[in-house]
């Protein structure tokens, strides 16, 4: 009888270790991917004589690296890379642009991200954003500043939040804590700052 209880206890311990290990492994994988992306971005060297960018041996093409954006939300201490294509691989390490044909500062620019397991990675803290908070998207030498004006929870099938709009806005999308619905944060464009203005 004691052996049976010990065996059951051991099984519960092993199952617990597996459940704890999965998010830690995923976080380690994500951290590894982010480090690789940062290394690739840091390796983008411009030849001062002709202004060309050297070809790199990474999982990302030169064009993909040149299109990497940064999303900054000061109120929740978020600063994350935004990759220009939504794939499972890209979502595992960064935020992603939902539609390829969208351009920052024009119509509805949508960004998706996982909630993340721990800490402040991905969109884990997005639910703490408030109306009026500032969202900054840095892309190709410009900083697009948006002001949050709408926060809502929608069903995964409610895709109209991605529709283009007449006004320039940003849409941030992630899962709710349960994973059954989507948290949508929208902001209107209030200012565009050229890189030369920020120096």
Q: Which residues form the catalytic set?
A: 114, 175
β-pairing, 142-154 vs 182-194, is: antiparallel
Element of type H or E holding 169: strand 169-175
Residue 132 CA to residue 141 CA, distance in Å, equals: 24
Strands 182-194 and 95-97: unpaired
Q: What are phi and psi of 62, to 5 degrees?
A: -60, -40
Task: State how far the Cα of 98 lies from the Cα of 156, in Å rounded to an integer.
Answer: 14
């Amino acid at each position: 009888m004691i052996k049976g209880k010990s065996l059951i206890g051991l099984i519960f311990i092993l199952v617990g270790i597996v459940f704890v290990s999965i998010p830690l492994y995923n976080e380690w994988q994500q951290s590894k991917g982010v480090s690789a992306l940062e290394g690739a971005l840091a390796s983008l060297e411009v030849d001062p004589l002709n202004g060309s960018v050297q070809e790199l041996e990474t999982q990302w093409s030169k064009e993909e690296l040149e299109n990497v954006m940064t999303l900054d939300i000061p109120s929740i201490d978020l600063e994350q890379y935004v990759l220009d294509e939504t794939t499972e691989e890209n979502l595992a390490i960064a935020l992603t642009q939902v539609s390829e044909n969208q351009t920052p500062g024009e119509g509805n620019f949508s960004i998706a991200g996982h909630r993340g397991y721990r800490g402040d990675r991905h969109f884990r803290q997005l639910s703490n954003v408030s109306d009026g908070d500032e969202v900054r998207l840095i892309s190709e030498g410009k900083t697009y500043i948006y002001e949050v004006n709408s926060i809502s929870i929608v069903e995964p099938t409610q895709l109209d939040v991605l529709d283009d709009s007449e006004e320039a806005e940003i849409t941030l999308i992630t899962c709710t804590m349960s994973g059954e619905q989507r948290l949508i944060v929208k902001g209107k464009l209030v200012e565009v700052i050229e890189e030369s203005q920020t120096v």
